[in-house]
């Protein structure tokens, strides 16, 4: 894991970049086009969007105009909560695929575990995978109980579980469960939405390594073997967020950050959400 094109290998053999660009709350149109363009120019090869973000068309436009071969880009999207169910999910996927302007989506996720419906939704994802319309399938915001429920009937184990993850919310039981079942953990809101950038330890490590607090947090994710998708619309920060492969936190520094876990969330709680 020593360069910006470093990848993890999912349990079906598909390579997924360790760092990608998240585009949650990035406006459709020029803002998302410019953000994705800046990311691809900076060396990113993974872009994470969702139907709910309402910016898939802009993501697709930026990819098409970038000059980067489509096969070199790992593209993720997600099915939203009001489209759960077998047929509904298949239809939602087609809408996303057309908006993105691609034949195949690299990773398609269930955005949230909607009670009573997510098994039918997962069956649709399995169909999409078997038909070759997606290269990998997974879930988002799934806790251990959601995964256990899904795995009772699933033919295919999810390749990825994308959850809120940072030093203040590490979910060790979930992380262990995913490792045991060969499910790659992926972090959304890895930068705590900027709310912890003034933390004394982050400031100290920033000064030591000549890196920003955001870069320290991303590096911590990588050393925890968690894929990370920091969001930014500022070209300078987009470039900085992938410039994290030229330093390594020590074991002692990792332990200090590991000790920060207090189950503090900055996004919705899956326990309350469903």
- Residue 53 designated active-site: yes
Nearest to 64 by CA among 77, 54, 75: 75
- Residues 6 or more apart from 41 whose CB is under 8 A from it? 66
Nearest to 110 by CA among 193, 88, 2: 88
H helices of the chain, in order, are 30-42, 56-66, 86-100, 118-130, 144-151, 172-180, 200-209, 213-223, 235-241, 251-258, 270-273
Phi, psi of 205 (to 5 degrees): -70, -35
Q: Which of 24, 44, 53, 86 is catalytic?
A: 53
H helices of 135-183, in order, are 144-151, 172-180
Cα 124 from Cα 14, distance rounded (Å): 20
In this structure, the number of other CB atoms found within 10 A of the CB of residue 229 comes to: 26
In eight-state DSSP terms, residue 109 is E
Residues in the chain: 274
Tokens matching residue 184: 């790659």
H or E stretch covering 137:
strand 134-140
Tokens matching residue 269: 């709680």
Residues with active-site annotation: 53
């Amino acid at each position: 894991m020593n360069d910006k094109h470093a990848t993890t290998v999912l349990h079906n053999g598909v390579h997924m970049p360790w760092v990608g660009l998240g585009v949650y709350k990035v406006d459709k149109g020029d803002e998302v086009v410019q953000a994705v363009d800046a990311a691809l120019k900076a060396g990113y090869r993974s872009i994470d969007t969702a139907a709910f973000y309402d910016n898939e068309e802009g993501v697709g436009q930026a990819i098409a105009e970038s000059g980067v071969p489509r096969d070199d880009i790992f593209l993720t999207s997600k099915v939203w909560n009001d489209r759960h169910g077998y047929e509904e999910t298949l239809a939602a996927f087609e809408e996303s695929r057309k908006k993105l302007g691609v034949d195949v989506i690299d990773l398609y996720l269930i955005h949230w575990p909607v009670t009573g419906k997510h098994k039918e939704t997962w069956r649709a994802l399995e169909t999409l995978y078997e038909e070759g319309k997606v290269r990998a399938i997974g879930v988002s915001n799934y806790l251990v109980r959601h995964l256990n429920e899904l795995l009772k009937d699933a033919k295919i184990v999810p390749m990825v579980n994308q959850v809120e993850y940072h030093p203040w919310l590490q979910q060790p039981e979930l992380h262990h469960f995913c490792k045991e079942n060969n499910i790659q953990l992926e972090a959304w809101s890895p930068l705590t939405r900027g709310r912890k950038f003034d933390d004394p330890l982050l400031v100290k490590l920033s000064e030591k390594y000549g890196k920003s607090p955001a870069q320290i947090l991303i590096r911590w994710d990588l050393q925890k073997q968690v894929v990370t998708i920091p969001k930014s619309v500022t070209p300078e920060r987009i470039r900085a967020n992938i410039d994290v492969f030229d330093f390594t936190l020590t074991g002692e520094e990792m332990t200090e950050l590991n000790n920060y876990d207090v189950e503090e969330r900055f996004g919705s709680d899956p326990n309350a959400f469903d």
